[in-house]
Chains A and B, each alone.
Chain A
Amino acid sequence: MYYGPGLCGKTTNLQYIYQKTNPEAKGKMISLATETERTLFFDFLPLSLGQIRGFKTRFHLYTVPGQVFYDASRKLILKGVDGVVFVADSQIERMEANIESLDNLADNLEEQGYNLEKIPYVMQYNKRDLPNAAPVAQLHELLNPQKIPQYEAVAITGQGVFDTLKAVAKLVLTELRRGGR
């Protein structure tokens, strides 16, 4: 599940993964978006990663709509989530939006009976290429007090996109092995 403030690049992450994945490993990417390409309900991308000990692994990637007023939709999509990528917008002027979205994630997870401290969860600092990007140290301090794995990314060129995906997929599989949830 990709979570984060509006226009932070959640859909762009999925689009890059979709473009760069072998046709046999992926299904259709579905975007329920408005006419202006803002996510309305969710994006969905099914992805096969191969086999572990005879078990086929298939991941379902979803994004939530980032805009504040779509909170009811976000709550629905969080039901049944196995792992979360928080996509932060590195631009200094989006810091408040990042914090608001992160608080919203924590609240909504709690409402569904999950806990950010326990669920597989990684952080992506997106838009590192922009001149107004805040230093990573500052983002880290503001958004990642738990010191979860964090990745720098430029989703539009693909930088950091697969590193982020692999990190969360690994955490999900590790949790599955542990017999979590």
Chain B
Amino acid sequence: MEVMYEQDYRHIQAIVDRLHHESNGKAVLLIDKNGQEIAASGEIENLDTTSLSSLMAGNVAATGGIAKLLQESEFSGQFHEGQRTNVHISIVAQRLILVVLFDERSSLGLVRLRVRKASKELKNTLDAMMAKAVQPSEPSIFSEITDEDIDNLFND
């Protein structure tokens, strides 16, 4: 349960958009390790990004579990090769999952190169967000929610 503000979100979305463009990929997804979609760009109208996010997170968690058993700290990247669509999965700043879907219009080399650049930018943005979060801030935006509001959600 973390809060992201509009300005940070826009910044992150811009990085994801740029990665989509520069990598020549079909789509880019940024997901947190719990499987929640944070940002998406590209040809996503026909993609079930909710399910994809959950499965990608499950996949990364399973791979992380394997790494631990092999005394590796983490496998930082994965690549799945399909007949039409390839998937490049990498971990950003130990907490986010960056996924690039691409086809023959791009290549693994190009995707890797652009992902590396975008990862650095995302990490910097996250670090700045964390630094902000450490400072005492205004009360939680959720604190105004009443019991009644919660009950109303279930009146169906």
Given contacts A27-B50, A52-B153, A72-B65, A179 and B35 within 8 Å (CB-CB): no
B149 at the interface (CB under 8 A from A): yes
Specify which of A28, A44, A52, A76 is in contact with B150 (CB 8 Å cutoff): A52
When each residue 36-79 of chain A gets 1 if its CB lies under 8 Å from chain B and 0 otherwise, what string results? 00000110101001101101010010000000000011011101
Report A145 CB to chain B, min CB distance, Å: 27
B-contacting residues, A57-103, CB 8 Å: 57, 60, 72-73, 75-77, 79-80, 82
Specify which of B36, B50, B142, B154 is in contact with A170 (CB 8 Å cutoff): B154
Q: How many residues of B contact A (CB 8 A)?
A: 29
A147 at the interface (CB under 8 A from B): no
Cα-based distance from A116 to B34 in the complex (angstroms):
19
Binds A, one of B53-61, B99-107, B115-123: B53-61
Report A102 CB to chain B, min CB distance, Å: 23
Q: Which residue of A lies closest to B154 (CB)?
A: A166
B62 at the interface (CB under 8 A from A): yes
A138 at the interface (CB under 8 A from B): no
Contacts of B4 in A (CB 8 A): none
